[in-house]
Structure 1
Amino acid sequence: MKIAVIGGTGLIGSRVVGVLNAGGHRAVPHATSTGLDLRSGEGLPEALTGADVVVNLTKPATFDEASPVFFQQTMDHLLTAAEEAGVGHAVILSIVGADLVPGLAHYRAKVLQEDLLKAGPVPYSIVRATQFFEFIDTVLSWTSDEHTVRLPATLMQPVAADDVAQAVADVSVGVPLRGTRDIAGPEVFTLDELGRITLAARGDHRAVVTDDGAGLYAAAPGRALLAGGGAVIARTTYREWLASTAGRQVRRR
């Protein structure tokens, strides 16, 4: 099976390509660096030639009000090109709870992306993931100084990028879901608790101050970011992942 992975050089995309190729499929990564510009559509027909499946893992440069524009443009181009190329399955990666946090522009934009895919001409699957372990350090940096890190007590169920990639790969080689599959980590934390665990593992002695107005995730109410019934629950725990990445930090996809 030939699978075009758009955004195939990023945090999740590179892992998805690796999983698929290890499974005997022909996964081809496409990105700006390979000559594909999804915003203009340049290089898209060539990328989809002969592809059975297209996986879209692209993201906007910023997570503000530019996000909806990005997804409208890129999905229009992708779905038109996929239909013309006879691609039989389109897959996107979205966010658990995206529809429950309208206060975040990027979450509203992901819902738009999902809706465009559902209304499009290509059989589809949507994988929704909770926040990646790999992004927690970045979240901490948003509301920190040299002495403290301020974080809300927002409930989160983070997951390892490797586990997300496996879930995306599994869906990509299956029959189109014409629906959504959620994946989440095995543990639920409050974000301020995650901050304390992370800083301790990094040997960072700054204090975590609980501030329910601090940062992006202060906008997420109640259990909005937690997986519901029927979700795939990954095996990797946060502390296991921290131990495996000791001494280094990683950036978001």
Structure 2
Amino acid sequence: MSKIVVIGGTGLIGSQVVAKLTTYGHDAIAASPGTGVNSITGEGLAEALAGADVVVDVSNSPSFEKDAVLDFFTTSTNNLLAAEKVASVGHHVALTIVGTNRPQNIDYFHAKAAQEKLIAESGVPYSFVHATQFFEFIGSIAATVAEGAEVRLPGALIQPLASADVATAVARTAAGEPLNGDIEIAGPEVFTMDEFIRQGLAFRGDHRSVVQDPDAQYFGAHIEERTLLPVDGAQIFSTTLAQWLPENPAR
């Protein structure tokens, strides 16, 4: 049995990772500001990481503004890595995004790439889990680009998956040996971004018009058609959008 500390362990992904690791027989600790562990201020980090074998970071920035998101991920990651070295943690697992290591102009992705660089160069054994977009973010994606009764999205391709499948991949990675590299994970179906949101909103009775617009932006930037797709050899989970929607009310 390993002691595994999950930073962001009370959130959407983190809470599921904690549950899965516990099922696997590990001592999984949910660490977040709500449990007295703050990776930005450093509060509670030393105590939480004492005796830890693995740290899993699934925390997220409260702001996607360029400077704020970069500051969040670099500050949090530097604090975590420093505490891990003191505690002799043997494996750092970070959940990140498919596309951060490809040419793009998304501020959030650049911040995640900076986080990955800090981890890879830290000397702490590590694993990255690059995930595609989650089904759970249908509503929030639509909200960020909605203009009245119209939702305008690019036609870029996307291969989304369920958060439960993300949590499974992260938990399995945390329970294994460090990769000192990455895996990519995705769902079984490829959509254009507008198709994905259109299907999700329609199922939930949201009658806003979803329009494919080549000038529309994603996370404040224009993206290429295949930027968000996984590479060959990615781990593909089986949950489809049609299977997931009936089990998940609007968020």
Flag whether TM exceeds 0.5 (same fold): yes
Q: In structure 2, what residue type is equivalent to 1:8?
A: G
Instruction: Determine if contact 2:127/2:178 at 8 Å carries over to the other structure.
Output: yes
Which of 168, 177, 180 does residue 178 from structure 1 map onto? 180
Residues 101/135 of structure 1: CA separation in 2 closer, same or farther (3 Å cut): farther
Percent identity over paired residues: 48
User: What CA distance in whole angstroms lies between the structure 2 residues aligned with 1:17 and 1:164?
Assistant: 12
Q: Tell me by how many angstroms 1:216 deviates.
A: 2.1
Please give the secondary structure, in 2, of the residue aligned with 1:166: helix
Deviation digits for residues 177-216 of structure 1 (CA, Å, limit 9, x no counterpart): 0000110010100011112211220122222222122242
* Residue in 2 that maps onto 1:211: 213
Q: Does 1:228 align with 2:231?
A: yes
User: What CA distance in whole angstroms lies between the structure 2 residues aligned with 1:215 and 1:40?
Assistant: 33
Q: Tell me by how many angstroms 1:99 deviates.
A: 2.4
User: What CA distance in whole angstroms lies between the structure 2 residues aligned with 1:40 and 1:196?
Assistant: 40
* Residue in 2 that maps onto 1:26: 27
User: What CA distance in whole angstroms lies between the structure 1 residues aligned with 2:123 and 2:11?
Assistant: 27
* Residue in 2 that maps onto 1:124: 126
Please give the secondary structure, in 2, of the residue aligned with 1:83: helix
User: What CA distance in whole angstroms lies between the structure 1 residues aligned with 2:187 and 2:237?
Assistant: 5
* Residue in 2 that maps onto 1:165: 167
Q: Tell me by how many angstroms 1:138 deviates.
A: 0.7
Q: TM-score, normalised by structure 2?
A: 0.95
RMSD, matched Cα? 1.3
Please give the secondary structure, in 1, of the residue aligned with 2:101: helix
* Residue in 2 that maps onto 1:7: 8
Q: In structure 2, what residue type is equivalent to 1:64?
A: E
User: What CA distance in whole angstroms lies between the structure 1 residues aligned with 2:149 and 2:71?
Assistant: 38
User: What CA distance in whole angstroms lies between the structure 2 residues aligned with 1:101 and 1:93?
Assistant: 20
The residue correspondences of 1:91-110 to structure 2 (distance < 5 A) are 91-110=93-112
Q: Tell me by how many angstroms 1:57 deviates.
A: 1.0
User: What CA distance in whole angstroms lies between the structure 2 residues aligned with 1:145 and 1:202?
Assistant: 19
Instruction: Determine if contact 2:153/2:218 at 8 Å carries over to the other structure.
Output: no
Provide structure 1 residue ranges, at least 5 long, that are not aligned to the other structure: none
Which of 185, 199, 202 does residue 200 from structure 1 map onto? 202
Q: In structure 2, what residue type is equivalent to 1:28?
A: I
User: What CA distance in whole angstroms lies between the structure 1 residues aligned with 2:27 and 2:234?
Assistant: 28
Residue range with higher mean Cα deviation, 149-158 or 13-22: 149-158
Q: Tell me by how many angstroms 1:136 deviates.
A: 1.5
Q: Tell me by how many angstroms 1:101 deviates.
A: 4.9
Instruction: Determine if contact 1:148/1:209 at 8 Å carries over to the other structure.
Output: yes
User: What CA distance in whole angstroms lies between the structure 1 residues aligned with 2:170 and 2:93?
Assistant: 8
* Residue in 2 that maps onto 1:55: 56
